[in-house]
Structure 1
Amino acid sequence: MTTTAREKLRSRAAHLGPERRRPQLLDAALEIAVARGIAAVTSSAVAEHLGVSRPVVYSCFADRVELLEALLARESEHMLTATLDALRRARGDDPEAAFVAGYQALLRVVADRPQSWRLVFVAHPDPAVAGRFQQARAIVSRSASQWLGPALKRWWQVDDLDRKLPVITELFISSCEAAVRLFLDAENDWTIEALGDFFGRSMHRAFSGV
């Protein structure tokens, strides 16, 4: 970025209120975290990335800790909400169609905000990210279990369901994570529809045999 461009950004930033400025700062922090890891996210790095002064960052976040907390809260909440929404779309009387619809819906929300998902699945591992992800994963697992239990009983009259359900739920969640990782892979040439269809049909066959 040229000196003139940085000066223009600083000038514009001075006129933005905190509510408009905060999303920009968090977006910059997310880009840095994905590219270089959470440890690289500092107030100075965010300011430099946006071409603004550090006081602009401090006007919204008191320090690096507050900035990171806001970033992780925003991204984990988005991922949780989007995943639960995708799960709710896996409905209907046709089990195979329901599984396909669910995986495709999940991949669409990943495509909508890929950087958020790269923070967890592709970026450098970090305990802070892992902790947030595990909390969200536990909530999704409970919701998936509440959906899978009645569905398996209705569709396939699964025996000994209480004993099998925790294993089935973990298999389902792990397959969703695998689908996301494959979709985010730089060498991936699958479309959302094709990859969701493949996972949906595969997991439908796996679950129908339990």
Structure 2
Amino acid sequence: MAAEAPAPHSPARARRAEHLGPARRRPQILDAALAIAIADGVDAVTVAAVARRMQVTRPVVYACFTDRKTLLDDLLHREEDHLRDAVLASLTPRKVYADADVFIEGFTTLLRSVAARPQAWRLLYSNPDTEVAHLFGRGRAAAIARCTAMLRPTLTAWDVADADRKLPALVELWVSSGEAAVRTLLAQEGQQRVDELGRLFGVAVYHALRSA
């Protein structure tokens, strides 16, 4: 009689997974944890849940992460790093942000990063968990600091009256528009072209700031 094929959760399948070393296995584990967090919330991310999703035994996960807290911390730090780098890349320092093309370039760069890693951005924008809210707050604070430093000389170059008084409100408008652009792309994924949306938001924000 022919041998029966192992079931998806069988030890035979799990043993094959163990041939991958921790360095190669960790990113796979974090990807599985990310998918669970987006689908069911951060509270649903457990070692057992990750093992089930990957069709491996729990010791395979424990070989890379000592416990759930370590796994979750590494996941959130990884995604925070990706998102921070994307935001800062979209806000390349210049002496003056004087024309619409600069804003279009910035919004387009940001939205391209969203299109490249939509799952990470969904975790940030679609998850009410406390851990994620803390991550979002730190990222937003960094974006506000960068935008403030960049917009101040631009307002001076534009001869905006009462520039220092208006600066916080205009920075908030800029950052909030970036968040709106991300949410729009995530909501319309596959329906709206990234460059088209980047141009739309870039031109709108430029004119809003320019007319302050």
**What does residue range 90-105 of structure 1 map to in structure 2 within 5 Å?**
95-105=99-109
Equivalent in the alignment of 1:27: 31
Q: Which structure carries more helix by proportion?
A: 1
RMSD: 2.0
Q: 1:60 & 1:175 partners in 2: Cα distance?
A: 39
Whole-Å separation in 2 of the counterparts to 1:187 and 1:170: 25
Note the residue ranges of structure 1 that are not aligned, 5 or more in a row: none
Note the 1:108-119 alignment, pairs <5 A.
Answer: 108-119=112-123
Aligned identity (percent) is: 45
**54, 61, 69: which one aligns with 1:50:** 54
CA distance, structure 2, for counterparts of residue 83 and residue 4 of structure 1: 44
Rg larger for: 2
Equivalent in the alignment of 1:149: 152
Mapped to 1, the partners of 2:52 and 2:149 lie a distance apart of 46
Structure 1 partner of 2:177: 175
Provide the TM-score with structure 1 as the length reference: 0.91
Write the distance in 2 (CA, Å) between the matches of 1:9 and 1:161.
64
Kept after mapping to 2: 8 A contact 1:92/1:98: no
Could you tell me which runs of 5 or more consecutive residues in structure 2 were left unpaired when the two chains were aligned: none
CA shift, 1:167, in A, is 1.0
Contact 1:89–1:102 (CA under 8 A) maintained in structure 2 = no
1:126 aligns with 2:152: no
Partners of 1:89 and 1:101 within 8 A in 2: no
Do the aligned partners of 1:25 and 1:57 also contact (CA within 8 Å) in 2?
Answer: yes
Q: What is the deviation of 1:45?
A: 0.4
- Contact (CA 8 Å) 1:107, 1:183: kept in 2 or not? yes
2:210 equivalent in structure 1: 208
How do 1:3-14 residues align onto structure 2 when only pairs under 5 Å count?
A: 3-7=6-10, 9-14=13-18
Which residue pairs with 2:164 in the alignment?
162
Task: Confirm whether residue 77 of structure 1 aligns to residue 81 of structure 2.
Answer: yes
Query: What's the TM-score once normalised by structure 2's chain length?
Result: 0.91
Match of 1:86 among 85, 90, 96: 90
Q: Are the equivalent residues in 1 in contact too, given 2:96–2:150 (CA < 8 A)? A: no
Which whole-Å deviations, capped at 9, do the CAs of 1:84-129 have from their partners, x for residues lacking one? 011118887751111111111100010111100000112x310100
The number of equivalent residue pairs is 207
The residue identity in structure 1 corresponding to 2:15 is S
Amino acid of the residue matched to residue 181 of structure 1?
R
1:137 corresponds to which of 135, 140, 149: 140
CA offsets 1:122-153 (integer angstroms, 9 cap, x no match): 2x310100001101211111011111111222
Q: Quote the Cα distance in structure 1 between the aligned partners of 2:188 and 2:77.
A: 26
Query: Quick check: 1:67 aligned with 2:81?
Result: no
Matches of 1:187 and 1:27, distance apart in 2: 20
Equivalent position SS for 1:44: helix
